[in-house]
Structure 1
Amino acid sequence: MSASLEAEHLYKVFGRRPDRAVERLRQGAGREELRADGTTAAVIDASFTVDPGQIFVVMGLSGSGKSTLLRMLNGLLEPTAGHVRFGGRDLTALTDRELRAVRSRKISMVFQHFALFPHRNVRDNAAYGLAVQGVPRAEREHRADEALALCGLAGWEKSWPDELSGGMQQRVGLARALATDADLLLMDESFSALDPLIRRDMQDQLLTLQQTLKKTIVFITHDLNEAMRLGDRIAVMRDGRIVQTGSAEDILLRPADGYVTSFTKDVDRSRVLTAGAVMDTGVRGDEADCGCETATPDTPFTELCAISARLAHPVAVLDTGRRVVGVVPRQRLVGFLGDEDGGPIACDGGESGKKVTARA
């Protein structure tokens, strides 16, 4: 199991007298006020914890501070204030030599633009981190081949980067990160340079790998749909600050402010929500007595709509013990889709009014 990551009140200020700028920010000064003095506050008071084996997505528009934040997590940028702890170790207190050792063995990074060496073949690119560690050639080639196979590149070991598609090159970058067996993966807009279909394929690849490897991952993106699809938890950044942290359902259903609300307006909710997020918990009991189709709290929204369309009453939601934990009336599905503009909705037909009862 990989280790946990903690960011504690991180600040990054560029310009003159950064320590003084941090004090001004703590006292309530705004980002624009500092900018007028020639100082840029890239990250302001960022705190979060990433649990072991979790994909934590940091998202925001260009200039929000997300990439600067990522670079403080592995020491490429030194925080102006605050701490980064990984596996209980304070990375901000390490010497340069100690930090390089941590980066070479415990933390791997996957970049946006592949960053492959054109004069090295696929195997040698994937083994590069192991070569830096001084791993013997036979072992590093074996581990690189294993990582390439995990990423769907078995048989391409001797090819050259310019012989690969963009998606395949990014797979090599991912394999290079996995080959070192690092506990923490930092992914900076890693799929944003890819075409939409290839990008979705890489998202699928990452989710499949994560089911087995259970790495601690921090993933940076400006794409909300990508964040919703990948993230176990999501942090939304604006003007250097984290304005909300939560699950995809939290962000969609309980936005912290108007900015988050506007940011999520065009998200396809049917791809994110589950029965557990939309059910009415007012009905609970041992089992549904209608003898018909039911759902679980993890049933995807689109599947829930399909079940609802086949029934003349609300869908019963059962837990693993087959007990009713809630019901979903059809009009509730329509409401969560947000059909404010009179557009098409996922579930057709009227609500019969017949209720699912439960035997307590």
Structure 2
Amino acid sequence: MLLDKATAFIISMNKELNIDKTQTQKRIQEIQDEINQTGTYTHTTEELEYGAKVAWRNSNRCIGRLFWDKLTVRDLRHIDSEEQFVNSIEDHINDATNNGKIKPMISIYSNRIEIMNEQLIRYAGYEDKGDPQSIDTTNLAHHLNWQGAHTDFDILPLIYRINQQSLKYHTYANDLIKEVTIKHDQFPHLEKLQLKWYAVPIISNMDLEIGGLYYHTAPFNGWYMETEIGVRNFTDEYRYNKLKEIAEAFDLNTSTTASYWRDRALVEFNYAVYHSFKQSGVSIVDHYNASKQFKKFEDNEKRFNRKVTGKWSWLAPPLSPSLVHNYHKGYDNEMRSPNFLYRQAQHGCPFH
């Protein structure tokens, strides 16, 4: 029941923020009256900010939760025009990038606005080029008459619609998206592969749930952990699948598993990703420090008598996991509110 969820949220928030019981009861009564009249209720900006931050704190798959209270929350529910929306998205990308000193940020819109992209910044995928993860979005962009250069690293346009009108796309300005060339200080052949990655991962396909209300359009970002790029994006077989080419750039013998070429290439390539970002002045964290930060987060939560939940398979890094503490303990994967939720898959043509 919506009122029950709203009440639980307000009580939890006001207790944590030391807001007195009189104000709490007054706010609950306001919400009850609004629900009785309209069937729903509206969060204040303060409630939205608190809810978004706690949603990050409750995100079971995120190892970077130590910084949950540093999230910049942009309340953009008032935006209802295309120009305002597109400008605000570009502002988010620019402000979050922050010349490389990345700021955790979320932009929350009304549900009148829909974003079709998985992330605000993604590389296109073709049958023979690019990121296979993006093939469906790329086909959708082609349907809207967008044409990429058919390279491995074409940045997809923003695909959106407002008030259930026709889908549209917006191509970002060339200087808006910061990218990092991946190179290795001891293996110059790696640079010849011309690998690069964008600086900021801005997730745009998850729902933000706060007190029973769902915000379907709430793109948010932190910064990268190096293994997200170096282990998953470039070397998963169903992604760029570049591990053998990378190993050959490191002059490793790929003809036999006895050379441990996959393992050796993976370590050196993640070293290359991390240092390439650092040399470009772009925020990134290595998996050892990310795990130490998560341990500090766990300690902080214990001090406040708050339970830490988590999904072990996401918290244990995909490179040398047994070398960090996360690997050696279990986590309760209980979902709590507020939170970020994976959107239910939509079937059928997005044009109808």
- Per the normalisation by structure 1, the TM-score is 0.30
Q: Choose between structure 1 and 2: higher strand proportion.
A: 1
TM-score, normalised with respect to structure 2: 0.31
Structure with larger RCO (C-alpha < 8 A, sep 6+): 2
Structure with bigger gyration radius:
1
